[in-house]
Structure 1
Amino acid sequence: MSIKTNARTQGKIGFIPSSGSLMDWIGSLGAEDIGVDLGSSNVVIYIKNKGLVLPESSVVAMRHNSSDFVTYGTQAEEMEGRTPQGIYTIRPIKESAIIDYKSTAYLLNSIINQSYLKRVFFHPRLIICVPVGITGVQRRALLEAAFTMGARKTVLIEQPIASLIGTGINIENMEGAMVVDVGGGTASVAVVSTHGVVVSDFSRQAGLAMDQAIISYVRDKYKVEIGRKTAEIMKISLGTMWYIKEEQQFLEVCGSSLVTGLPVKITVTGQDVAESLYPLLENIFHKVRNVLQKTPPALLGDIREHGIMISGGAGQLKGLDRMITNLTGIPSYVVEHPLYVNAIGAGTVLEHMNILRDALQDLR
C-alpha cells in the first residue's frame, strides 16, 4: 500500500534528535530510513522510497514461562480474551507511553522485517511520531525501545506537526493551524505555527478508553459482558455524536450474560454508543476550548480561516467534526487518511529531507 502526497515541506519543525547532531543524522539518511507512528492501538510504518506498510495492532502474544514471543499485531489481537493455556497478550504501549521495552522492540522489529521488505534491516534510522507534552521519561523509553530493536539513530517528531505535513500543508507559509489528534491512547490538541507547537493540551480519554466505556455501558444497561473487539465494532458501526431518533441504527452483538453466564445475543443502538461516549468526548471538547483560550490572538484568524483539522483513528467517529464546529464556531474537518496521516507526514520528511535540512533546528 502506498499513499502519495505532494506536500511542500519547508519550515522549522519540532524534531528532537536522540544523540549527535541533527545535521549529522540527516546526512546519514539512506535506503534504511523509516517513519513510525507508534500508537497504543496501531503501529503504522512508512519506509522511504516504498510507502506505507499496512497498520498492525499494537499487541504482542507471549509465553508465560519462557517469556518467548509467539506472534504480534493483528494475529495477537485476535487472541485477546481467548489465548491458549500458557500464552498471554500484552499491549506494550499504553496512553502513548511504552510500558514494556522488549515487547515494543519486538513489535517494531517484526513489522519492519515482515515480507513487505524482502530483507532484514539490522540498523535502520527512525523518525517516530510522539504526542504533544511527551515527558523526558517517555522520551527515553522510546529511544530505549528503538535502541533495543537495533536502530542506528532515532529522531522524534511531534504528532501535530507530522499530521500537518502529512496533509500536504506547507508549514513554512503557515501562520497558525489547529490539530485535534484522537488516537488510541491519547487525544492531543495543539496550535502550530511556522516555529512549532505554540499551545497544546492532551487527554487520556481516547480510542481505547472509548471501547472500555462501551463495555461498561452494555454491562450496566443490558447485564451482558462483551469483548473489546465487539465494543470497537459498535463504535465504528454505530458511533455518532448526532443521535436522531428517526435515523436510529441497530446492531446485534454477542456476549456473556451476567445473570446466567451463558452466551447471549442482544440488539444495541446508536443511542447506546452516543450516551456511553459523550463523557469522554466532553473531556476532549474541554481541551479544545482550553487551547483556543490560550492561543495568541494573532493566530486565531488563521485558525478560523483554515479550520480545525481532526486526525487519528478515533477521530473518524461520525459527527465529531460537527460537534467541534458547533462548540467553537470554527469549521472542523477530518483529514484524508486520518489513521495514516502521521506516518505519511514522517515519511514525507524522509522523502524531502534535502529540502528540509536548512530549515530544521538542532534541539539536542
Structure 2
Amino acid sequence: MLDKVLGYFSNDIGIDLGTANTLIFVKGKGIVLTEPSIVAIDKTTNKVLAIGKEAKEMIGKTPEHIQVIRPLKDGVIADFDTTQAMLKYFIQKVHTSFPLARLTNPRPRVVVGVPSGITTVEKRAVIDAAKQAGAREVYLIAEPMAAAIGAGLPIDQPGGNMIVDIGGGTSEIAVISLSGLVISSSIRVAGDEMNEAIINYLKRNYHILIGEQTAENVKINLGSATASDRDEKKMEIRGRDMTGMPRSVVIYGKDIREALEDVVTQIVNAVKSTLEKTPPELAADIVERGIVLAGGGSLIYSLDKRLMEETNLPVVYCEDPLTAVARGIGKALQNIDLIRRVSIK
C-alpha cells in the first residue's frame, strides 16, 4: 500500500538517455526537459561546472583547465561518474519542480530508453547510475520499442511493425510483434558519425577545420541522402585553415551529400539486412504497413526517399521524430504492466 501511495506522489519519470540529448518525461506532465547530454568539468578540481545547455555553449570556447565532455558514447555510458552527476542533476531539476514532490520527497520510479544491443555490463551501468542519482526502481526499455510505442504502432498485435530509430550515437532497426522484438539490429552509426564525416570531408577537400556545432548546422541546412534540389544550395562556413589562420569558404549541398554517403549507406544496409532476416509472415505485414522513421538523425533530407528506392517499401515519418522515444517511455509510465511486458530483462 505504501508503495502505491509513494508511486502516486513521486512523479515517476521516463528518460530518453541519448548520446546527443537527454529528454525527460514526467508522468502526468509530459516532456518537461530537453537538454544536451554534455557536462563541463574543471580538470584541476574534478568539479562539475555546467550541465546541459550551459555546458553546450562552452564547446570549443574553454580555457585549458576546463573540459567539455559527452559522458555517453554510442548510446551507452562511457563515463560513469559524469553520467551519474548529469542524471542526478536532471532528475532533481524536474522532480523538485512539482509542489507534491517537494512536500513528500519520495524517490521516483524511473524508466530509461537504451539501445537494443546493450550489453549486460552496460545495462548494469545505466541502472546503477539511475539509482545513485535518486531512483527507487529502474526499468530499461529498448529504444526501438519505445519509439514504436511513441509512434502509436500496434505493438501488442500479432503483426509486423518495422521501426527505424536514428539517434545521435546509434541507429536502431527492429521488427516488433506481440510486444516483443522479433528481429532487431543496433549499429553504432548515426547522427554523430554524420557530423564527423562532414568535418573530415571539409578538412580533406577544403583544407578547413570546423567544430562539431558548425558541422551539425551544415548537416541540417545542406545534408541529404539522395541527389536533390539541395545539391546546388550553398552556405558560407568559417573555421581555420591548416596554418591555423581563420578562414571562410563556400560549400554546396552536393559536397555534403557526398560526405554523408558512407554513413547513409551503412544505415540503409542495416535496414535491408534486418528485412532479409524477417519471418515471411511479418515481412508481408511490413509490405502493407511500411517502415516508420523516428529519431533526430532520421530527419536528414530525403532519407525516406532513399529508403523507399532501396527497399521498394512505403516509408513514413512518425509524428515529431525527435521525441518519439521519450513519448513512448511516457506512455509506458502510465501502465506498469506494459513496462514489465516490454522492459529489457
CA contact (8 A) 1:26 1:353 kept: no
1:360 aligns with 2:341: yes
**Matches of residues 197-236 of structure 1 in structure 2 within 5 Å?**
197-236=181-220
CA deviations on 1:290-343 (whole Å, 9 max, x unpaired) are 111110001011111111011111111011111111111111112111111101
Q: 1:102 aligns with which of 54, 73, 81?
A: 81
> Is residue 2:325 matched to residue 1:346?
no
Maintained 8 Å contact 1:101/1:144: no
Change in Cα spacing, 1:363 to 1:103, as seen in structure 2 (3 Å) is: closer
Q: Where in structure 2 are the equivalents of 1:50-89 lying within 5 Å?
A: 50-89=29-68
Corresponding position of 2:239: 255
Distance 1:39 1:75 in 2: 17
8 Å contact from structure 1 (residues 122, 151) kept in 2: no
Instruction: Report which of the two has the higher share of helix.
Output: 2
Give 2:145's match in structure 1, choosing from 156, 161, 166.
Answer: 161
The equivalent of 1:314 in structure 2 is 297
2:117 to 130, 133, 136: 133
Give secondary structure in 1 for the equivalent of 2:53: helix
Q: Structure 1 149/348 Cα, relative in aligned 2: closer, same or farther at 3 Å?
A: same
Cα distance in 1 for partners of 2:248, 2:28 equals 48
Larger relative contact order, structure 1 or 2 (CA cutoff 8 Å, min sep 6): 1
Q: Is the 8 A contact 1:248 1:270 kept in 2?
A: yes
Does the 8 Å contact 1:53/1:116 carry over to 2? Answer: no
Counterpart in the other structure of 1:271: 254
Residue 123 of structure 1 aligns to a residue in which SS? Answer: coil
Percent identity, please.
37
Which shows bigger deviation, 170-179 or 191-200? 170-179
CA contact (8 A) 1:240 1:318 kept: yes
* Distance of aligned partners of 1:62 and 1:34 in 2 relative to their CA distance in 1, 3 Å threshold: same
Answer whether contact 2:231 2:257 (CA < 8 A) is retained. Answer: no
Give 1:32 shift. Answer: 2.5
Q: CA deviation at 1:183?
A: 0.7
Contact 1:243 1:270 in 2 (8 A): no
3-state DSSP of counterpart to 2:175: strand
Structure 1 position 217, deviation (Å): 0.3
Pair 1:305-2:282 in alignment: no
Mean Cα deviation higher: 206-215 or 241-250:
241-250
Letter in 1 for 2:81: K
Q: SS at 2:7's partner residue?
A: coil
Length-normalised TM-score, structure 1: 0.87
CA displacement 1:123-148 (0-9 Å, x = unmatched): 22110011112110110110111122
The AA in structure 2 aligned to 1:331 is: P
User: Match for 2:314 among 321, 331, 335?
Assistant: 331
Q: How many residues align?
A: 338
Q: 2:168 aligns with which of 184, 189, 194?
A: 184
Aligned equivalent of 1:242, options 201, 226, 233 = 226
CA distance in 2, matches of 1:203, 1:334: 20
Q: Which amino acid aligns with 1:226?
A: I
Matched position secondary structure for 1:172: coil
Q: Deviations over 1:190-243 (max 9, x none)?
A: 111114001111221211111011000000111000000000000011111222
Deviation of 1:184 after TM superposition, in Å, equals 0.5
- Cα separation, 2, equivalents of 1:211 and 1:54: 24
Provide the alpha-carbon RMSD of the alignment: 2.2
Distance of aligned partners of 1:220 and 1:362 in 2 relative to their CA distance in 1, 3 Å threshold? closer
Query: What are the Cα deviations for residues 103-126 of structure 1, in whole angstroms up to 9, with x where unaligned?
Result: 112212222333785256662211
